[in-house]
Amino acid sequence: MSFQVLEKDKSSKARLGRLITAHGTVNTPVFMDVGTLGTVKALEPRDLVETRAQVVLGNTYHLMLRPGAEVLELAGGLHKFMRWNGPILTDSGGFQVFSLAKMRKITEEGCRFNSHIDGHEFFLGPKESMAMQRVIGSDIAMVFDECLPYPCDYARAAKSVEQTLRWAKVSKDQPHADGQMVFGIVQGGIYDDLRRHCAEELVKMDFDGYAIGGVSVGEPEECMYQAVDASIPYLPEEKPRYVMGLGVMHQMAECVARGVDMFDCVLPTRIARHGTAITRHGNVAIKAAKWIRDQGPVEEGCDCYCCRNFSRSYIRHLLACNEILGLRLLTIHNVYALNRFMEDMRAAIAAGNFMEFKETIKKETKGK
């Protein structure tokens, strides 16, 4: 398992990379498709292949509750359980420390939760998280961390960073599955000095890669870029860098220009279920009445299965009738759209015109 920087953009910090995992090679920059419960919602593994997905995410917290470690161990791990042969990255459950704040209590050893499903109490800390990720058998395991809310005062952020660093050390020291890489997570909120401190201390622990966490939690866009800018300079060039929870085209392009290699987000599947399509000219509400007679594809020029075969009119009809096929086809389009976008971004870096590509994306998707 290794990461190699293949080419660097001359006008920015963008780079092409190759991440070799136990279940295949990943070309970076990459968008990773979220499959929280062992499925990218509405899609089969063969759909993921057709939509050019490279990596699927699973979530340790959710998979621990359902189906549980015993079932996954019996199945031989998540790859075999969900019949996906490509790389899998697992979130540690640390985000749930943030998102389930009203249902948990944090201690030095970890976090005591009440299940969001049935309310039963259970414990998740760095040891438990890494043990579960070992059972899952993911190619990339994330350390257990504490994700900060926005806004967050400095004293609270500083205390949380120290907790995250202690948990990172415990996570690193746990046994891992064969070939499993482990990534550290930089926290620190909007405070540059805390971001630097967290990054420098994590690098001393020598992880296989590094994520920038605590973004996309309600902060303004400029604060998200600030968090990236405050972290990247202190992360090693030879290791992959991952911004967690980001899936908006122009934001990913901006972060790639800053030297980021990996992204993930529930956005493409979530907004598909609400009738919205991702396109190069911004998001489009396919449920809108204006598409009722439109015989064009969801996105002109797109060659995904949905756009090759079905019209906006038909997709809108399915959505209006609450037919499952409608959200499935729109999900296929959205997942393909972001994976194709990353392919085009990699091509722009290789061709030496990445900055032009970035500005075009910004103008087309933001209207600026």
Asked if 18 and 26 touch (Cβ cutoff 8 Å), the reply is: yes
Query: Would residue 264 show up in a list of annotated catalytic residues for this protein?
Result: yes
Tell me which of 9, 33, 91, 261 is the catalytic residue: 91
Tell me which of 33, 208, 261, 264 is the catalytic residue: 264
CB neighbours of 171 closer than 8 A, spacing ≥ 6? 92, 126, 129, 130, 143, 144, 182
Report how far residue 4's alpha carbon sits from residue 237's, in angstroms, rounded to the nearest whole number. Answer: 10
Asked if 250 and 283 touch (Cβ cutoff 8 Å), the reply is: no
Report how far residue 51's alpha carbon sits from residue 125's, in angstroms, rounded to the nearest whole number. Answer: 35
Query: Would residue 91 show up in a list of annotated catalytic residues for this protein?
Result: yes
Nearest residue to 188 (alpha-carbon basis) of 241, 229, 143, 141: 229
Q: Which residues are catalytic?
A: 91, 264
